[in-house]
Structure 1
């Protein structure tokens, strides 16, 4: 049975890890925004935090995240990771920067990757909406449409996100469902899609502005991961005032 003293000691150790992690993230705030937000909203289990880097996993998704500027340090940190636990939780590791990526390839059984730009909305000012859409949580028929149209999350994850209130529909004044946006399981903004017949009307920008304001209203920093070859999306983020981290983040699969 855990005693009060043991609980206090455990909490003190966790608080120390959080402080070390947040201090490390300050070295490159844009690159590590996703990890810092994970810690600040209490969603992180910090496995390692020190002067040479941070390793954590996001509790609800099980996705692991690694920050380390030096390849040798990243390898030492990954030595502390139970690879079976990684595989059981999600099989996903997000490596921040090229050196962390290279270390993961040497230390883990990586079978594939998706390279992304991390974009961060650094302003605290909400975006002005043009009033062309109203926003609401999806109903059953719309959930089925989202599951059919969006392929970067599993149907099961989309169901969970909808149940948790993390996906919003954009609807015109005439009641037309034109697209959707939301928050991925690990906390990043995304799931943006405008149906083909409604594109080039500014609806994607309006959906993003709405979602930026949702993040800001919660005291969160809006951020997202843009797949490196998606130049249209990256240009939209820049137009809306997002800043791009100076290194990429790498989603590594089947670790």
Structure 2
């Protein structure tokens, strides 16, 4: 299958054992999560993608990440889906972290869940609590006050980066991302993230940290 940077979300899913290769052909591949609910594909022809899903998936997945607007639109029609989020995909391709981490960064505990969920707009906070439970959410602290946080989504991408208003413009976003990059590299993973179209602050941060924007987008559909 395609191992280029634009497919890092797919190759990382396979590497971690979180997904299995359902199909691989000249037109692209399908990777299905082990529980069958999440499908990733770089097949850009929407009609062909839907045909492969109908043929190969035991049941219709609930969440998709695809690499073209045509694929996203076809999925929404085929499976009566209503939400899509178009992102650029950024990959860190260097072997060393971009800068030293000097800030006080530590794993968050459940005592921080309510505050983090309110800042991240996580509704009932279930996802934030899950990330904390898995040791995947980290906070930057200033004099023991939580100044911001970031972590790894359940697809292993970096994200959830939020800096609380009183602590902005102090370099904490860069420190958190450098921390995540270092953690991923230490585990032998390729650091990557998705940036929602129009998020100029995050785009600036990715460029500053030395990440590369991939050729194809990552479009989430559910």
TM over 0.5: yes
Q: Deviations over 1:227-255 (max 9, x none)?
A: 001111011101110111122211111xx
C-alpha displacement of 1:49: 2.4
CA distance in 2, matches of 1:74, 1:61: 16
Any conservation in 1 of the 2:39–2:64 contact (CA below 8 Å)? Answer: yes
What is the aligned partner in structure 2 of residue 161 from structure 1? 131
Q: Map of 1:65-214 to 2, 5 A cutoff?
A: 65-82=40-57, 84-86=59-61, 91-131=62-102, 133-151=103-121, 155-172=125-142, 174-214=143-183
Match of 2:210 among 241, 249, 254: 241
CA distance in 1, matches of 2:207, 2:24: 32
The alpha-carbon distance between structure 1 residues 111 and 83, as it changes in their structure 2 partners (threshold 3 A), is farther
CA distance in 2, matches of 1:64, 1:143: 29
CA distance in 1, matches of 2:56, 2:82: 18
The alpha-carbon distance between structure 1 residues 43 and 55, as it changes in their structure 2 partners (threshold 3 A), is same
1:225 aligns with 2:194: yes
Any conservation in 2 of the 1:61–1:186 contact (CA below 8 Å)? Answer: no
Any conservation in 1 of the 2:37–2:60 contact (CA below 8 Å)? Answer: no
**TM-score between both structures, scaled by the size of structure 1:** 0.79
Any conservation in 2 of the 1:83–1:108 contact (CA below 8 Å)? Answer: no
Any conservation in 2 of the 1:170–1:180 contact (CA below 8 Å)? Answer: yes
CA distance in 2, matches of 1:61, 1:230: 31
Q: What's the Cα RMSD here? A: 2.1
What is the aligned partner in structure 2 of residue 5 from structure 1? none
Structure 1 portions without partners, runs of 5+: 1-23
What is the aligned partner in structure 1 of residue 6 from structure 2? 31
Any conservation in 2 of the 1:96–1:250 contact (CA below 8 Å)? Answer: yes
CA distance in 2, matches of 1:239, 1:61: 37
Any conservation in 2 of the 1:183–1:190 contact (CA below 8 Å)? Answer: yes
Q: Deviations over 1:83-139 (max 9, x none)?
A: 8542xxxx21111123422432443222121111111111111222251x1221113
| Residues 67-76 or 38-47, more deviating | 67-76
Q: Deviations over 1:152-203 (max 9, x none)?
A: 586222212111101111113x222111110111211101111001001111
**TM-score between both structures, scaled by the size of structure 2:** 0.90
SS in 2 for 1:127: coil
Runs of 4+ in 1 over 6 A off after TM superposition: none
What is the aligned partner in structure 2 of residue 53 from structure 1? 28
The alpha-carbon distance between structure 1 residues 185 and 40, as it changes in their structure 2 partners (threshold 3 A), is same
